[in-house]
Amino acid sequence: MALVNERTSAERPGIQKVVVVGAGFGGLAVAHGLDGVQVDVTVVDANNFHTFRPLLYQVATSGLSPADVAYPVRGIVSRHANLRFRHDEVTGVDWDRHLVVLASGAALPFDRLVVAAGAAVNDFGTPGVAEHGFPMYQLPDAVRLRNHIIGRFEVAEADPSVVDDGGLTFVVVGGGPTGVEVAGALIELIDKVLERDFRGSAVDVDRARVVLVEAADDLLPMFHPTSRRYTRRTLAGRGVEVRAGTTVTEVTASRVRLGDGAQIPTHTLVWAAGVRGAPLAEALGVPLGRGGRVPVDPDLRIPGHPEAFVVGDLAASGDGDGGLLPGVAQVAIQGGRHVARLIAREVDHRNADGNGAGGRGDVHEPFRYRDKGSMATIGRASAVAELGHGVRLKGFTAWVAWLGLHLVYLMGFRNRLMVFVNWAWNYLTWDRGARLILGAGEGDDTRPKRDASRQERTPPVG
């Protein structure tokens, strides 16, 4: 097939090579959408795996293994004859020569470019977050957080006085789905699993606290008030202290200061308050919008660069009402499919008469996002789901809907099976098998050390 493609490409001027930057939801949707289209597609990513980000919070709270939410990109691209993968980091784009520049020093030529490089954590300039906060965006972030959380309890066993200093206080910043999910899963891990692990030990697990801070007046601001009320009540009922309507103004190794003047002693700050465009955006040489995202035309092309598209979290694309589309998986997936469709149409046009006429379909069709709804899990048998058309679920029903939907969307059957078995096991036994502290070298990073700073940052490990 590779030979066939090359021959076909040679006969077909114009669009032969498509480079897709990023193997997230957006990038993979582009790749899948170009299956069977006569172009050579190269997906470039600095990781050799796709991360199923909606389940990262379960890795962070010991419910799943890293491999359960990661899928090797080659396992996907090798099924399609016109797809290739390149394990490298993109450092820039040479627009004149139509080259994607890689960290290794190599370059990939392109006729069409799709930038789906995702986002990075946004600390909104809050002092101390970069040094002391635990982000929740990449897989290593989740592993690092898991090691740190479990490690706090081991440290408390060696030196119970750290509890007075906030050693077992976990502050989660951001009341969106990620923050709600981390806080909910964390209180469950503590109450159901660690409480049992540390029974009879020097650690009084009952003194552990989970605090959820949200700048807006309520959690899950994008949800209906009914869902928000349910979420807040359920979290509070399980022991999460919710502080809405206040911001974090400063973070140190052992304190979080809030805008309302309060100060919380804590050695763990989980930062789920927002994201901005990935750093690659700055290397594109195009004007950037708010939060470092790339403003795009309605068809997702970069203004002035009709040969390039941006999809997913990195795109600042209008929602048709003057706002911007949110950075969620569905926007990336639908955007990726849309771009694949436009590229396929362009190829079709070229094939028709070699000059770009005679093909079917508008190559500048605007992207229209179909909102399929939102979901957030609060914990065991408890979630909120809004499916559009006024359909709102909460509690057990919403939780089952959430489970099913996430299993369906998980890449690859193996992962789906693993996650299902894990969930069934966790549900039936209240166990969390992955509560490992597994660090570099001998996995010793979170052991109490004589003169260790209170909040060491440990290299992540599965």
Distance, CA of 307 to CA of 95 (rounded, Å): 10
Residues 6+ apart with CB under 8 A from 158: 448
Nearest residue (CB) to a copy of itself, 72 versus 274: 72
In angstroms, give the least distance from the CB of 121 to a copy of itself: 12
Nearest residue (CB) to a copy of itself, 159 versus 164: 159
Q: Which has the closest alpha carbon to 65: 389, 434, 328?
A: 434
In angstroms, give the least distance from the CB of 219 to a copy of itself: 30
In angstroms, give the least distance from the CB of 191 to a copy of itself: 15
Q: Which long-range contacts (CB under 8 A, 24 or more apart) does 7-15 make?
A: 8/38, 9/38, 9/39, 9/40, 12/38, 12/347, 12/350, 12/351, 12/354, 13/350, 13/354, 14/111, 14/346, 14/350, 14/354, 14/356, 15/39, 15/111, 15/112, 15/343, 15/346, 15/347, 15/350
Distance, CA of 315 to CA of 308 (rounded, Å): 12
Name residue 10's amino acid.
A
In angstroms, give the least distance from the CB of 421 to a copy of itself: 6
Nearest residue (CB) to a copy of itself, 34 versus 384: 34
From the candidates 181, 188, 214, 386, which is the catalytic residue?
Answer: 181
Nearest residue (CB) to a copy of itself, 197 versus 299: 197
Buried b (16+ CB within 10 A) or exposed e, 357-382: eebeeebeeebebeeeebbbbbbbeb
Q: Which helix (H) or strand (E) holds 449?
A: none
In angstroms, give the least distance from the CB of 426 to a copy of itself: 9
In angstroms, give the least distance from the CB of 47 to a copy of itself: 5
Specify the 3-state DSSP secondary structure of 70: strand
Nearest residue (CB) to a copy of itself, 236 versus 424: 424
Nearest residue (CB) to a copy of itself, 77 versus 219: 77
Nearest residue (CB) to a copy of itself, 140 versus 359: 140
Nearest residue (CB) to a copy of itself, 46 versus 387: 46
In angstroms, give the least distance from the CB of 433 to a copy of itself: 4
Q: Helix-strand-coil percent breakdown of the chain, rounded to 5?
A: 35, 25, 40
| DSSP per-residue codes, 210-268 | EEEEESSSSSSTTS-HHHHHHHHHHHHHHTEEEEES--EEEE-SSEEEETTS-EEE-SE
Matching residue, tokens 């166990």: 431
CB 81 within 8 A of CB 5: yes
In angstroms, give the least distance from the CB of 388 to a copy of itself: 34
CB 392 within 8 A of CB 386: yes
Take residue 14 and report the two structure tokens written for it.
């114009």
Q: Is 131 a catalytic residue?
A: no
Distance, CA of 148 to CA of 142 (rounded, Å): 10
Specify the 3-state DSSP secondary structure of 358: coil
Q: What angle do CA 169, 171, 177 make, to 5 degrees?
A: 140
In angstroms, give the least distance from the CB of 133 to a copy of itself: 16
Nearest residue (CB) to a copy of itself, 225 versus 413: 413
Distance, CA of 314 to CA of 293 (rounded, Å): 5
Residues 6+ apart with CB under 8 A from 421: none
- Cα distances from 6 to residues 16, 18, 39, 40, in angstroms, run 9, 13, 9, 8
Active site residues: 181
